[in-house]
Amino acid sequence: MTPKRLLLLLLSVGVAAFIVGIWQLASNLHWVSPIFLPPPDRAWAALLFDIERGDLASRVLLTLEHMFYGWLLASLGGILIGSAVGISSTARAYLAPTLEFFRPLPASALFPVLIAFFGLTENMVLVVIGFGALWPTLLATINGFATVKPRLHEVARLMRLSRRQFILSIALPNAMPEILAGMRLSLTIALILSVTGEILSGSPGLGYWIMLQARAFRAPDLFAGVLLFGLIGYASVQIVSLLESWLLRWRA
């Protein structure tokens, strides 16, 4: 690690510590009632206690499962549909406006619709996550196909690449930086929708658990859950970023 990166790391840790400090201070000095904002040490204690009691781990696992499978569904769907649309400039021209119309639809608005179709099931949750998290990857794939440089199209023609070879060797790698950025966005959307989905469907994941804590006015436990979500979000994005820098190591 270079000294500069070390300094940045120290600074970012410092900022986080500072915010936790303010939080602790705000609670201790009763700027905010601890009923709404418990001090971090109590939230931490609650977290440890809940983990020890045993059912938190399985809930986290369930939520991770929702998030991961929903994200996988969205990523595969996005890349496949995106490739099918992106390969033909005509399909791109025809379909892009429709896709742009669907994209800003809030995925959570789909819950009522899909509950009618699927009922309050795990599949329903997965479909909503898949749909909501699909867009960044889908549009990134289409765009990545559109931005293949004319020269590479010529190289592909000269080498007589088949359509499949063109997609696999040129179009998808060309789209890869955008696809990965899209997948990173998708991950966050998937996490948000897992929580919403669990709360609505009563699936016993972390999202549902948090809602129970809120209903019971167990602020420390509620905050413990929020902390966990933060951690899950942070860690998962870090993992994808690592994957990203490995897959894009060809970039200067």
Partner 1 sequence: MSEAAAPAEPALIAFRGIEVAFGGKPILTGIDLDMHKGEFLCVVGPSGCGKTTLLRLAAGLLPPSAGRVLYEGHDIVGPQRDVAVVFQDYSDALLPWRTASGNVSLVYETLGTPRDERADRIASVLARVGLAEHADKYPSQLSGGMQQRLQIARCLAQEPKVWLMDEPFGALDAITRQSLQDEILRIVADTGTTVFFVTHDLEEAIYLGHRVIAMKPHPGRIAATYPVDLPHPRDQRTTPEQPEFMHLRRVLLEFIRGTQT
**Residues in the site for partner 1, rule: CB under 8 A?**
149, 151-152, 154-155, 157-162, 165, 169-170, 173-174, 176, 249-252
- Report how far residue 120's alpha carbon sits from residue 117's, in angstroms, rounded to the nearest whole number: 9
Minimum distance from CB of 154 to partner 1 (Å)? 6
Residue closer to partner 1 (CB basis): 146 or 212: 146
Residue closer to partner 1 (CB basis): 104 or 150: 150
Residue with token string 């994941």: 205
Minimum distance from CB of 173 to partner 1 (Å)? 4
Question: 20: Cβ–Cβ under 8 A, 6 or more apart, which residues?
Answer: 40
Question: 44: Cβ–Cβ under 8 A, 6 or more apart, which residues?
Answer: 224, 227
127 and 193 Cβ atoms separated by less than 8 Å = no
- Residue 217 — φ and ψ, nearest 5°? 55, 35
Spell out the long-range contacts of 106-110 with Cβ–Cβ below 8 A and sequence spacing 24 or more.
107/131, 107/132, 107/133, 107/189, 107/193, 108/132, 108/193, 108/196
Closest CA to 36 of 228, 223, 227, 195: 223
Residue closer to partner 1 (CB basis): 108 or 174: 174
Minimum distance from CB of 248 to partner 1 (Å)? 8
67 and 203 Cβ atoms separated by less than 8 Å = no
Minimum distance from CB of 160 to partner 1 (Å)? 6
Residue closer to partner 1 (CB basis): 168 or 216: 168
Tokens of 148: 């293949």
CA angle 238, 243, 246 (to 5 degrees): 125
Minimum distance from CB of 167 to partner 1 (Å)? 13
Residue closer to partner 1 (CB basis): 47 or 167: 167
Q: If phi over 0 gives left and psi between -120 and 50 gives alpha, with beta otherwise, what is residue 251?
A: beta
Residue closer to partner 1 (CB basis): 165 or 241: 165
- Report how far residue 164's alpha carbon sits from residue 168's, in angstroms, rounded to the nearest whole number: 6
Minimum distance from CB of 102 to partner 1 (Å)? 30
Minimum distance from CB of 101 to partner 1 (Å)? 33
242 and 227 Cβ atoms separated by less than 8 Å = no
Residue closer to partner 1 (CB basis): 101 or 246: 246
